[in-house]
Amino acid sequence: MARDPVCGMYVDEEHAAFKIEQGGKVYYFCSEGCMLTFQQPEVERKKLRNLAIFSLSLGLWLMIIMFLPEPSLFSHHYWGLILATPVQFIAGYRYYRGAWGALKARTANMDTLIVIGTTTAWGYSTFVVLFPNYAPSMDIYFDASAMILGLILIGKYLEEVARGRASDAVRKLLDLQPPTAHLIKEDGSEETVGVETVMPMDILRVKPGEKIALDGIIIDGASSVDESMITGESIPVSKKVGDEVIGGTINKEGSFKMEVTKIGMNTTLQQIVQMVEEAQLSKAPIQRLADTVAAYFTPAVLIIATVSFLGWYYIGKSSFGFAFTSFISIVIVACPCAMGIATPTAILVGAGIGAQNGILIKNGEVLEKARSLEAVAFDKTGTLTKGEIVVTDLVTNEPEILITEVASLEKLSEHPIASAIVNYVDNRGIRLFEAEKFESLAGRGVKGIVNGKSYVIGTSRLMSEMKIDITPVQKDADLLYDQGKTLAFVALENKIVAIIAVADQLKDSAPEAVKKLIDMGLRVVMITGDNKRTAAAIAKQANIEEYISEVLPEDKVKEIKKLKENGLNVAMVGDGINDAPALVEADVGIALGSGTDVALETGGIVLIRNNLMDVPTAIELSKRTYRKIIQNLFWAFFYNTALIPVAAGALIPWGIQMNPIFAAGAMAISSFTVVTNSLLLRRWRPKG
């Protein structure tokens, strides 16, 4: 038995809060997500199955011998003791350990109820056999204690089988990575090696039809790669020298050489697996409510059972056996095991379904928040648009040397517009100069000196701040703005000399995604650093009516805060470093898989496929999963509360008293119902 360092609970593998299968093993976790131990899932299932068969076989035989003639060697009572005792302490051992651990932690759980119920039945029956003269009743319950344990173990076995199916998503992801790779040695020869021996900067050859072993960059050759198992994109992607390839994807046609860039847990595939596992292990806020109820539920059940026993025996003047049966039935039927798995099983399935559809949900809290969103804020560049900015217009009376000097300064900047300007010059084979005194002005532009000339390049806002008059080019700027283009104004020695216009294409999925979000009743907002005219043009193309323009990176957080101050639950969708603070500030941060590592780390949901249609899909999935959680909790509470009055004798006026064996069956069915209901979520498919 292990003591959980976080919550201080004594928990062993038999009584962990939940379990996850991965790589042929099953990992056991406490309620706070601490891993305790692991073992092969097949071993666990066989153990449960064998113990259930053992218990039910002896339990049925105990029921049968009661109708047989009295044996000559021992009486029926002694045979009951002989057969029931192994069941009680072999099959029931796991529950005694769990109850003892809970007792050490000064709490009570479902094992407490199972142990009290079965031990009371077995213990009283043993007392009747050994001390018949002192027993208030000659009734024995050996068959009940054995059958109760058998039925509970059957329920646990079916639950484990169902849990295994819920872990299919992780298993399928892990199966994508091939076990070997073709390593090219320094002498040029090839050797097939285990993928675990490959190191960064090693060179691998990938042949047609093979799975790519690890993440890397193509250094020789070209091909088309099927990335559907990672990104969900069904069309193979063309790859050439310099392009990145992902481990686990399939090389369709050509042969190529690649340099390994990521291994082990740093690969895209392993990071996806890790995100899915973390989500499956996480706890949704609603689980805290269930935990709180369960903490008070067990003591309350014991009080109800005791009151029922005393009421029937002393007030109702019923027989001891009748009152005792009521006590055992209440304790067993109220066992809250279904309550404990209601939330984890739904999250387990929901996170797996998300992974299969290219949506990585990092934890249960994000899953629960996403279902109650009221507004979605989009970044523009690289999120709503493709992020492939190109120079479309150059308005200037200066010679070609000007654009060369501008590019020489912009090459020191990491902004997408700067990259577009540099690429514009590179494509013409022009050699750049060295820049001096370079300074980046976040969200506004750059300034510096090239060939002894002082340049300021940036937005109209920057020109205004620097008191540079743009009136001479205002007419040209207005025309370009109306076309939805982004402008970089160029000032030489504090005089405006040029306009460089760049444009970025809207993603094909943007208008449809926005329409679907609006149809779902969500408020959609675009937040961009572009000027108002460009923002208006892009927003119109994307069917977005509300947009906020000329926002500096640090001010995106303020805009998210404003939306939240209006009482809205807000999601932020972005892909860049400058989006990271807003992703954190939002109730739910949604990062595109093509974005920066910072954005991916801060986003609560990651869209691997970069398809904006996955935004409404993620929200829809969270709603479906939360609905399953509510349904599971309902069924758990329904079984536990609806059957307690029956067990206490509410149907006695009609001659019906619940047998403890049927109480155990109802408890097993409640757990199985919850897990099966969660598995029904696997049938869900995103619309469209």
pLDDT for res 218:
93
Q: What is the mean pLDDT of residues 151-161?
A: 72
Q: How far is Cα 227 from Cα 246, in angstroms, rounded to an integer?
A: 8
Distance, in Å, from the CA atom of 521 to the CA atom of 538, rounded to the nearest integer, reads 22
- Look at residue 649 and tell me whether its pLDDT is greater than 70: yes
Average pLDDT of the residues in 123-132: 86
Residue 229 exposure: Cα atoms within 13 Å on the Cβ side: 22
pLDDT band at 172; cut points 50, 70, 90: low
d(CA 266, CA 559): 34
What pLDDT does 287 receive?
60
pTM of the predicted structure, to 2 decimals: 0.62
Q: What would the mean pLDDT of 278-285 be, rounded to a whole number?
A: 55
Of the chain, the percentage scoring pLDDT greater than 90 comes to 15
Q: Distance between CA atoms of 392 and 389, rounded to whole angstroms?
A: 9
Residue 482 has pLDDT above 60, yes or no: yes
- Asked if pLDDT for residue 59 goes beyond 60, the answer is yes
Q: Is 379 a catalytic residue?
A: yes
**Rounded-to-5 percentages of helix, strand, coil across the chain:** 55, 20, 30
β-partners of residue 326 are none
Inform me whether the pLDDT recorded for 679 exceeds 90. Answer: no
Burial 4-38 (b: 16+ CB within 10 A, else e): beeeebbbbbbbbbbbbbbeeebbbbbbebbebeb
CA distance 29 to 169: 19
pLDDT of residue 285: 62
pLDDT of the residue at 577:
59
Report pLDDT for 541. Answer: 87
Mean pLDDT of the chain: 79
Q: Which of 223, 390, 283 is nearest to 29 (CA)?
A: 283
| 3-state SS, residue 194 | strand
What's residue 86's pLDDT?
92
220-277: pLDDT as tens digits = 998 888 876 665 555 677 888 988 898 888 888 788 999 999 887 778 777 766 665 6
Instruction: Give me the pLDDT at residue 217, please.
Output: 94
Higher pLDDT, 490 or 313: 490
Query: 92-121 b/e with 16+ CB inside 10 Å = b?
Result: bebbbbbbbbbeebeebbbbbbbbbbbbbb
35: pLDDT strictly greater than 90: no
Q: How confident is the model at residue 600 (pLDDT cuts 50, 70, 90)?
A: low
What is the average pLDDT across 156-182?
A: 68
pLDDT value, residue 23: 45
User: Over the stretch 352-363, which tens digit does the pLDDT of each residue have?
Assistant: 788 778 788 877
Give pLDDT, residue 276: 59
Lowest mean pLDDT among 34-38, 555-559, 586-590, 596-600: 34-38
Look at residues 621, 623, 630 and name the one whose alpha carbon lies nearest to residue 674.
630
Catalytic pick among 4, 111, 215, 379: 379
The strands making up 203-206's β-sheet, listed across from edge to edge, are: 190-194, 180-184, 203-206, 256-262, 215-221, 244-245
Higher pLDDT, 31 or 215: 215
Q: Give the pLDDT band of residue 515 (cuts 50, 70, 90).
A: very high
Check whether 4 has a pLDDT greater than 50. no
Average pLDDT of the residues in 599-620: 80
Does residue 580 register a pLDDT over 80?
no
Backbone phi, then psi, for 455, in 5-degree steps? -115, 145
Which of 153, 55, 145 shows the shortest CA–CA distance to 328? 145
Give the Å distances, CA to CA, from 85 to 78, 138, 201.
11, 18, 64
| Angle 148-154-155 from CA coordinates, rounded to 5° | 90
User: b/e per residue, 453-475, with b = 16+ CB within 10 A?
Assistant: eebbbbbbbbbeebebebeebee
